[in-house]
Amino acid sequence: MSRALFVLMICVATRPVWAFDCTALVTSRYSDVEISKAEPVAPGAFTPSDQSGSDVSTTIFHELPAFCRVVGVIRPTADSHIGFELWLPEQWNGRYLQSGNGGFAGEINYGGMVSVLRNGFAVASTDDGHTGPGAAWALGHPERVIDYGYRAVHLTSVISKQILAGYYGRNSSHAYFSGCSDGGRESLMEAQRYPDDFDGFLVGAPGNDFTGVMTYLLNLEQAAASLQQPLTTAQLGALQKAELARCDAADGLADGVIENPLQCRFNPAELRCRGASDEKCLTEDQVRAVSRVYDDTRGGRTHASLTPGFRVALGDEAAQWPYWLGPVPKESGLSETLSQMFSENFWPFVVYSDPKIDFRRLDLLQAVADARGRTGALLNSVDPDLRALRAAGKKIIQYHGWADAVIPAQYSIGYYEAAEKYSGTDNRDFYRLFMAPGVEHCGGGPGPNSFGMSYDPRPFGAGYDPSRDFNPDHHILAALVHWVEKGIAPEQIVATKYQDDDATKPVVRTRPLCVWPKVARWTGKGSTDEAKNFSCSTANGPNR
């Protein structure tokens, strides 16, 4: 045999299967599954042609590797229609990752798929069993509520791994789930219900007590509706300035970021107008509303605490308050606050099956009881029993922004501590929580907010993508992979703040995120904008 012929045979034998039979996957047969499309996608820019529930004419993802795109529907019941996509890269690293959704889902999470595809993962996502925004799909469709709650994610995992194995001729070496917000809820749901589906779970800002989060948002909407005069931009600025003046330096540094808002003792009454109202003070009505928003959601005659409150967003009101309590900025393109959007969908369609119900008049105590009784078993992922996951050697990394006004950070701390209390031991051998100061919901905010989270930071344009730097010291998904596959648990993750939150611009600050309950403390030497000058400690004040 000639050397040239030998080399040719080797090249043919090792050439990726995708180049030959990607389109053949459309004829594959799996139980309760219909594959509607299987197409090879060339490297470069890619525009999804049939993204559910939105206009994709300008949705262009740049600099993608070559992959096989599989589009399908799973029908476990006569009333189910679970859309999913699976992307199989030409240069596969042997791993499978499933990307979670947000809000009420209703579309494939392409942004969450892109960044991990670039890192060589086979990746899938589901629309959770319905298309389009809102939750009107739940009315009269109890099976679709189950699909949204947990079945869609689980079955997408099962089917995608079957397709993947047939395509590559082998199973994935490791499987991961990554999600934020509702995707964080999904991640914990998988960890609790189906721990065998994945080896590692990345849990971002989870709405795992889903009925509790919806009650919290209903309280925000009712508080906003009670305001006789909404807060102006100038009043929000004055409120934020007063909070920072009182609480910013409590961690030993005045850096524009409140380390732990729960330790901030700020009373909105400090800004009560003493005479005629102006843009630097709050009216009595506004003080009451702000105090209600910051406090826990309360109900009943005893005003018992029902859910955590908005106060973790202290020092970031100017950015977040308008979206959740109004007035909504004109440039946002929104016609209503986000708390109204969630409330007008969840309570009429999911809980009460009555589109005409006036959610603003609901009694909070009764509402949360109804929500938990009717939907909690399907939607809430709050079971603290993680023994099966731990025994199997699986790992969880969870993160939450301290400035999260959508899902207060207390939800993550509460579940993490409940799981540890249930186990009766230190859970850090398999479960670690990282709190991110000054970070809003799943990203953004005044603090260092880039650390490889579960979304693509620049989904609609070209340019530098920090998710490509798959370094476990800076990238939280890489840290999870490193822990699962190398057995090295992360002690800290270095987060980065870019100018204008644009990764193509200079770095403004880096700061370590520490394993809860530790926090980053300045050593007293060197720049406070460099992570190397901080250490993780449980002590108060700078370490000197």
What residues act catalytically? 181, 404, 441
Print the SS3 string covering 68-82.
EEEEEEECCCCCCCE
Tokens matching residue 13: 């034998």
Least Cα distance to 295 among 282, 314, 280, 281 occurs for 314
- 3-class SS of residue 291: helix
Neighbours of 335 (CB within 10 A): 8
CB within 8 A of 297, min separation 6: which ones?
A: 215, 216, 219, 305, 306, 307, 308, 309, 364
- For 446-542, where are the alpha helices, taking DSSP H only? 476-486
- Which residues face 435 on adjacent strands? 400
CA-to-CA dists, residue 519 to 80, 180, 253, 514, angstroms: 45, 22, 13, 5
**Do strands 174-180 and 200-204 pair parallel, antiparallel, or not at all (unpaired)?**
parallel
Least Cα distance to 255 among 58, 530, 490, 34 occurs for 530
Is the Cβ–Cβ distance between 416 and 325 less than 8 Å?
Answer: no
CB within 8 A of 54, min separation 6: which ones?
A: 107
242 vs 245: CA distance, rounded Å: 5
Terminal Cα-to-Cα distance of the chain (whole angstroms): 72
Tokens matching residue 116: 């991990």
Is the Cβ–Cβ distance between 313 and 405 less than 8 Å?
Answer: yes
The DSSP code for 147 is I
CA-to-CA dists, residue 463 to 46, 117, 219, 468, 483, angstroms: 15, 16, 41, 11, 30
CA-to-CA dists, residue 195 to 15, 382, 417, angstroms: 34, 14, 19
Least Cα distance to 71 among 20, 96, 28, 34 occurs for 34
Which residue has tokens 């009784």? 373
